[in-house]
Amino acid sequence: MAARDCLAGNEWICGEYVRTRSGELTDATLQHIGITTVSVVLALLVAFPLALAARRWRAAAEPLIGLTTVLYTVPSLAMFALLLPVFGVSAAVVVTGLVLYSLTVLVRNILTGLDGVPEEVREAARGMGYGPARLLFAVELPLTVPALLAGVRIATVSAVSLTTVGAIVDHGGLGNLIYSGMQSFFKAEVLTASALCVLLAVTADVLLLGLQRVLTPWARHRAPAGRRR
């Protein structure tokens, strides 16, 4: 009886809301995860060749980073509004906006990681007969993983947050519930959807941190500077 009273009393914390709306919450969460995942993956596919181009043609690096930085400063509502005439009211508006926002972090981090590869390592690989493509994928990229995944972590957490703004085109995942709950002042809906959004961001960050440690075992076993003999 008390559980049902929390709905009638419009309380912030309400187990009955979670029980009766579990399907709605699951669908919104899956949409949120889908939009975030697709956005970050597409951003990586775009950022990687851009970072390679910036390294190859140094004169283009500063203008490219400047452009991605300008895109990052555009308010999310304005960005989605500018994309509406091109994509219409669809998930593509949200995905494209998130891709553009992710570029500044990913391009910078990939470029920083590539620049951080010691030149003697490159020379040693060339001496062993590595061509440009093999050098990139077998030597440089593995050493770039820490910087790359640091950028992916930031981009992913930001995408989880910004996806909620997609509620303006009805493709905001948990943002749809937050928006509708605020309109009707449905406290349980607002708090539950917001809490799930935070949980998604934290979970994604922890999983990516774990992936980084798996892919860079040498960093885990490196002795702290103060304990070296």
Give the chain as a DSSP string. Answer: -HHHHHHHTT-SS-HHHHHHTHHHHHHHHHHHHHHHHHHHHHHHHHHHHHHHHHHHSHHHHHHHHHHHHHHHHS-HHHHHHHHHHHH-SSHHHHHHHHHHHHHHHHHHHHHHHHHTS-HHHHHHHHHTT--HHHHIIIIIHHHHHHHHHHHHHHHHHHHHHHHGGGGGGT--THHHHHHHHHHHT-HHHHHHHHHHHHHHHHHHHHHHHHHHHHH-HHHHSPPPGGG--
pLDDT value of residue 101: 93
Q: What is the pLDDT of residues 70-103, one digit of tens each?
A: 989 889 888 988 898 888 888 999 999 999 999 9
Confidence label for 229 from pLDDT (cuts 50, 70 and 90): very low
Name the percent of the chain lying above pLDDT 90: 38
Q: What is the mean pLDDT of residues 35-51?
A: 94
- For the whole model, what pTM was predicted? 0.86
Complete domains list, the chain, with CATH: 23-216 (1.10.3720.10)
CA distance 168 to 147: 34
pLDDT value of residue 127: 86
Angle between helices 22-56 and 174-184 (to 10 degrees): 130
CA distance 196 to 173: 11
Name the percent of the chain lying above pLDDT 70: 93
pLDDT value of residue 47: 93
Residue whose pair of structure tokens reads 């949200």 in the numeric block:
94
Q: What is the pLDDT of residues 160-209, one digit of tens each?
A: 999 999 888 888 899 999 999 888 888 889 899 999 999 999 999 999 99
Residue 170 CB partners (closer than 8 Å, separation 6+): 89, 176
